[in-house]
Structure 1
Amino acid sequence: MDDKRNLIIAVLLTGLILFGWPYIASTFFPTPAAVTAPAKAPASSDGATTADAALGSPAAAEKTISLTDALKASGRVRIETPKLGGSLNLEGAKIDDLLLLTHRTALAKNSPPERLFSPSGTKNAYFARFGWVGTGVTVPDDKSVWTPSASALTPATPVTLRWTNSQGHIFEIALSIDENYMISAKQRFTNTATAPVEIASFALLSRTGKPADATTGGSIFTHIHIGPMGVFDSKPNYDWGYVNVADNAGGEVKFNTTGGWLGFTDKYWLGALIPDQKVPVATKFRASGNIYQAQFIPTRYTNVAPGASTDSTARLFAGAKEMAVLNGYSKKLGIPYLDYAIDWGWFWFIAIPFFWILHWLFGLFGNFGLAIIGLTIIVRGFMFPVAQKQFASMAQMRSVQPKMKILQERWKDDKPRLQQEMMKLYKDEKVNPLAGCLPVLLQIPIFFALYKILLLSIEMRHQPFVLWLKDLSAPDPLTPVNLFGLLPFDPPTFLAIGVLPILLGVTMWLMQKLNPQPMDEVQKQVFSIMPWFLMFIMAPFAAGLQLYWVMSNLVSIAQQKWLYSRHPILKEQMAKEAEEKAREKAKAAT
């Protein structure tokens, strides 16, 4: 078995993984049934049972209003941090205006910052709200107007919102925010009346519509989960997409959990509700029309005596999925698997260490492209001992090729006998035909892990390399189809082959020239077009991934040159084969 046959196996295995995994997963790892809240307790004391009636179903606004009008419609408290800007709405105590100040919508430096949250009634409304439900008490709703203790919420100045009902009950939400993306909410209810009250606090996220690249369900190797996601009883759950929730019974999915979190994960952004990690809560994803909600509420109401008060604490993460930030919150605040909002996929155990290496290299070089090149060299260095064994196996295989050719001629009409004789030859010559396959098998999970890193890392978003490569998270924009931009038209996507994909095809072709040519004509034809086929396939991918593959090919070529010098038998055999082919061509020409 030569290197070409190994590559065929790699292609087949890759196709099996890509297209066969969904069927395997649905058969052996079916989507678990949602866990519903228990209904044993009386309705008056079961928070999960009565919360729905108080919260109501998600409802779309009667008409869409502009963002400017929405921001002027009510009083607001400014939000000012190094990474977040915007405001919170005093009507309904909604956090509904958030801008990600360190992430812009486009490459230009004057591009506006990315908007994460927008007020209710706007085109892409997305907001969070903290509130209460209870019996025998009037609770604030989404129209209640709160009184703030300050005009701005900053890391140095918390803000307390206060609302009092007609019975004299006092509701307070003490909000604080850190330097990154975490907002903490301490909710306090004080019973100033003469009768006891049963009450429970809740938190919800509501968004209108869904991202264009939202997934319909769980993720597989090359896909990413975008949509409802949570961690329930220390188990990350990617099983529910927007469509799945809408199609489920009643348009909702319920889970009971102690600890964890839930929310909506986008490719680069996350909105997540985080309850007190020691309090049992009932969580839910809901869908109604194009409105989607995530919410949690304690499974039990709290009985508050006259003159007493009760507190609860919750958090809201609203920001970019920066790995170091997410990982820091998991460790510092004890929030399980918050970094799993980044869907690393099945090969997470490879992707996460590689990410940290890439992150370290980025800090070292200050250029993400150089970091990718450095990571490529590290990966290829790690694989070098295996590559040595592969070449040794290739040398052994090529040394028996003359005997193999004799067997093929002798038993060409008896395939079973040919297989038996080939196995006997391998045994007599102490050749393992599968030894050369190991590097290919190892490269598959490494490639998919790197694919995830380069696709999902917001750290690579809008990061330049050199010259025309201004964004390594986007495809290579320079294509000869329009003479590198000199002709005033944009070619179709399938024809927009950038410089990096072309280099990928060329370097793969050079690698093939260095490798022994397959004896089988079908294999020879397949691999003659493989470099150019992959050139088109890889063209729409992120330039960072293309850069990795081109650099990997160049390192492989250098390794092959050196290894050929260590295995002269292989080089001599290749020269003999080339001479034989030349003689055959000359004979055929005459």
Structure 2
Amino acid sequence: MSKDTRNIILAFLLSALVLMGWQIAADRYFPAAVAPPAVVADSSAPAAPAATPGVVAAPGGAVPGVGAAAASGDRATILAATPRVTIATPRVSGSINLKGARFDDLVLPPYRLTILKDSPPVRIFSPSGTKDAYFGQFGWVGAGAPPVDALWTADRATLTTAAPVTLRWINPAGAVFEQIIAIDKDFMFTVRQRVTNPGPAPLSLQTWGLVSRLGEGAEQTSFNMHIGPVGVTDGTLRDSEVEYEKLRDDGPKRYTTTGGWLGITEKYWLAAVIPDQKMKVDARFAAAPGDLFQTDFLGPVTVVAPGATQDVTGHFFAGAKEISLLDSYMTRLGIPHFDLAVSWGWFIMLAQPIFHLLEWLFHVTGNFGVAIIGLTLIVRAALFPIANKQYESMAKMRIMGPKMKALQDRYKDDKVKQQQEIMALYKAEKVNPVAGCLPLLIQIPVFYALYKSLMVSIEMRHQPFVLWIKDLSAPDPLTPLNLFGLIPWTPPAMIALGVFPILLGLTMWLQQKLAPPQADPVQRQVFALMPWVLMFVMAPFPAGLQLYWIVNNLVSIGQQWYMLRKYPMPATPAAETVTVAATPAKVTPTKGTPAKPRPARPK
């Protein structure tokens, strides 16, 4: 077997390894581009029991926690069996359970599970006793405080943006506990907890708030996206240290903080309790047997004197993690780092500006696909001077091809000398062989920032482009493997080549054809396979990311074509083009070899 044949086989094996290894790594470390189902799915079958929070009596001990399980049942039956206050706003609907004053029935009408018009709205909360029970709650702990399952009364039947509701509970001594609940036009509830003490003895109380859920949900934490308990305490983001698995294995995590927020997050949705930002609280993230998880806070002990009234105001967020909305809550309500509820990760410094530029382009164009094209052109315009040098260098290297070939043939048995002469040729021709690397290195962070924007920002969810691309945050659904949908079969993600991935591979192949070939035969074979390998690698990624790469390739092809026209190959290379100016080696006759006779000098 020849060396070239071995190199080709090695290149194929390496490419196959990259392809299979990438799929394994992507499944483990990268979230799927297809939006998962809602947190809580409708089900008429009896479900697993969920948590009923319990409250402790002493400060500094355990904060409100998970306790005994409630009876299981289907959602419709449980909702009908409990007294409720209806929530009716344009963006939030559902109800508040008067048993416990619990936010446990909440859906988001503007957001649908799928892109189908008749798709049901996304459900955030479901009552205790249902599958994937998930809820938020506020209360008090202390002598005379309402029990966790107290039955409250309401002053109105419906909560709207214009009409707050007051929930009231009176203890046997006549102390009045009230929760005045209001909601804004988006997803933020304001909860004012007020206590009036008409009795002769003081009341020692602590306020608390919690978010509790059964199970981990459909989404999972990945290498670059956090799903699960999250919060900010004393200005520090708590995410990876309070993951579901760590809470289950290592026990609860406790923090003391003034201000901040605590909750449970998914890719697009967040439920968070936000205490009074001036109040020092004990925060906790906890797990309990039965796959129960909870995050909560416990306020300081306060004394309500006889005849006095005392109140404290907190907030409760339950809805979509719209980036501009989270930013506005940071400003208006002073919630620290509320924008970190979006899983930007360590790339936040670039990902956020890229997203805001994309959002601005979307408002200008009305289409996120056009906005991605605009972003690509802006990035390429910013990199134009560097890219121009790159393609100028590549065009000159193409012209230098015959000279390099002559050097390689001349010094084929002396690789060190060959490299020295090639570098000298680069210097003489003023060509930088690594000029093409800088634009690529600069674009890698931009590419990843766009990937993060497509994956974590709800603004990109279910955004159409044109024709068959109905969701830029999901892979291209049109694949020739099922005859573009004519065959009722969905290929595995690894081989489900959509139209966009195929175009991506073709544009990369054409881009390589315009570039000077690699000198090393192994590198040449590997580079020749890369467009087709990356075509499969990129198939499961969002169509918006594929669109960015395709447009970027087209712009690169245009710039390369222009430079090839500007620096054309000579029609017939001159002799000096292929002749290397090198000092011939001095020939010294060896012993036993007669020297060549000199011609006689004429007299």
**What is the TM-score normalised by the length of structure 1?**
0.83
Please give the secondary structure, in 1, of the residue aligned with 2:107. Answer: strand
Paired residue for 2:178? 172
Question: In 1, Cα distance between the equivalents of 2:423 and 2:559?
Answer: 30
Tell me if the contact between 2:86 and 2:94 (Cα under 8 Å) persists in the aligned partners.
yes
Question: In 1, Cα distance between the equivalents of 2:130 and 2:454?
Answer: 33
Please give the secondary structure, in 1, of the residue aligned with 2:555. Answer: helix
Paired residue for 1:185? 191
Paired residue for 2:132? 124
Tell me if the contact between 1:104 and 1:113 (Cα under 8 Å) persists in the aligned partners.
yes
Q: Deviations over 1:484-520 (max 9, x none)?
A: 1222322233222111111111111111111111111
Q: What pairs with 1:320-339 in structure 2 (closer than 5 Å)?
A: 320-339=320-339
In the alignment, residue 243 of structure 1 is paired with which amino acid?
E
Tell me if the contact between 1:214 and 1:241 (Cα under 8 Å) persists in the aligned partners.
no
TM-superposed deviation, 1:420 = 5.2
Paired residue for 2:539? 539
Paired residue for 2:155? 149
Paired residue for 1:113? 121
Paired residue for 1:86? 94
Tell me if the contact between 2:395 and 2:564 (Cα under 8 Å) persists in the aligned partners.
no
Relative to 1, partners in 2 of residues 1:574 and 1:491: Cα closer, same or farther, differing over 3 Å?
Answer: farther
Q: Deviations over 1:115-153 (max 9, x none)?
A: 00111111011100000112xx12212310001111111
Question: In 1, Cα distance between the equivalents of 2:68 and 2:426?
Answer: 71
Question: In 2, Cα distance between the equivalents of 1:479 and 1:210?
Answer: 33
Question: In 2, Cα distance between the equivalents of 1:574 and 1:111?
Answer: 64
TM-superposed deviation, 1:524 = 1.2
In the alignment, residue 150 of structure 1 is paired with which amino acid?
R
Larger radius of gyration, structure 1 or 2? 2
Question: In 1, Cα distance between the equivalents of 2:378 and 2:554?
Answer: 14
Relative to 1, partners in 2 of residues 1:268 and 1:574: Cα closer, same or farther, differing over 3 Å?
Answer: farther
Tell me if the contact between 2:139 and 2:207 (Cα under 8 Å) persists in the aligned partners.
yes
TM-superposed deviation, 1:401 = 5.1
Relative to 1, partners in 2 of residues 1:63 and 1:523: Cα closer, same or farther, differing over 3 Å?
Answer: farther
Relative to 1, partners in 2 of residues 1:45 and 1:290: Cα closer, same or farther, differing over 3 Å?
Answer: closer
Question: Is the counterpart of residue 572 in structure 1 residue 569 in structure 2?
Answer: yes
Relative to 1, partners in 2 of residues 1:383 and 1:411: Cα closer, same or farther, differing over 3 Å?
Answer: same
Paired residue for 1:261? 261
TM-superposed deviation, 1:393 = 3.3
Q: Deviations over 1:415-462 (max 9, x none)?
A: 555555555555565544433321111011111000011112212212
Question: In 2, Cα distance between the equivalents of 1:529 and 1:88?
Answer: 59
What value does the CA root-mean-square deviation take over the aligned residues?
A: 2.8
Question: In 2, Cα distance between the equivalents of 1:542 and 1:402?
Answer: 43
Relative to 1, partners in 2 of residues 1:426 and 1:559: Cα closer, same or farther, differing over 3 Å?
Answer: closer
TM-superposed deviation, 1:164 = 1.1
- The structure whose residues are more often helix, as a share, is 1
In the alignment, residue 106 of structure 2 is paired with which amino acid?
L
Question: In 2, Cα distance between the equivalents of 1:331 and 1:253?
Answer: 28
In the alignment, residue 92 of structure 1 is paired with which amino acid?
G
Question: Is the counterpart of residue 234 in structure 1 residue 242 in structure 2?
Answer: no
Paired residue for 1:489? 489
Q: Deviations over 1:246-297 (max 9, x none)?
A: 122xx21112222221211111111111111121221111111311101012
**Higher mean displacement: 110-119 or 460-469:** 460-469
Tell me if the contact between 1:60 and 1:121 (Cα under 8 Å) persists in the aligned partners.
no
Question: In 1, Cα distance between the equivalents of 2:131 and 2:215?
Answer: 9
Question: In 1, Cα distance between the equivalents of 2:234 and 2:418?
Answer: 57
Question: In 2, Cα distance between the equivalents of 1:523 and 1:410?
Answer: 21
Paired residue for 1:68? 76
Tell me if the contact between 1:194 and 1:306 (Cα under 8 Å) persists in the aligned partners.
yes
Question: In 1, Cα distance between the equivalents of 2:572 and 2:115?
Answer: 51
Q: Which runs of 5+ in 1 are unaligned?
A: 1-7, 24-43, 581-590
Paired residue for 2:34? none
TM-superposed deviation, 1:301 = 0.8
Question: In 2, Cα distance between the equivalents of 1:228 and 1:565?
Answer: 58
Paired residue for 1:5? none
Question: In 1, Cα distance between the equivalents of 2:116 and 2:364?
Answer: 25
Tell me if the contact between 2:395 and 2:563 (Cα under 8 Å) persists in the aligned partners.
no
Q: Which runs of 5+ in 2 are unaligned?
A: 1-13, 30-55, 578-603
Q: What pairs with 1:270-419 in structure 2 (closer than 5 Å)?
A: 270-288=270-288, 289-298=290-299, 300-395=300-395, 397-398=397-398, 404-409=404-409, 412-413=412-413, 415=415
**Higher mean displacement: 119-128 or 467-476:** 467-476
TM-superposed deviation, 1:533 = 0.9
Equivalent of 1:195 in 201, 217, 224: 201
Question: In 1, Cα distance between the equivalents of 2:508 and 2:433?
Answer: 23
Q: What pairs with 1:458-537 in structure 2 (closer than 5 Å)?
A: 458-537=458-537
**What is the TM-score normalised by the length of structure 2?**
0.81
Question: In 1, Cα distance between the equivalents of 2:73 and 2:100?
Answer: 18
Question: In 2, Cα distance between the equivalents of 1:133 and 1:59?
Answer: 15
Relative to 1, partners in 2 of residues 1:504 and 1:73: Cα closer, same or farther, differing over 3 Å?
Answer: same
TM-superposed deviation, 1:464 = 1.7
In the alignment, residue 387 of structure 1 is paired with which amino acid?
A
Question: In 2, Cα distance between the equivalents of 1:574 and 1:71?
Answer: 83
**Higher mean displacement: 100-109 or 81-90:** 100-109
Instruction: Tell me the matched-pair count.
Output: 526
In the alignment, residue 104 of structure 1 is paired with which amino acid?
R
Paired residue for 1:160? 166
Question: In 2, Cα distance between the equivalents of 1:98 and 1:554?
Answer: 46
TM-superposed deviation, 1:379 = 1.8
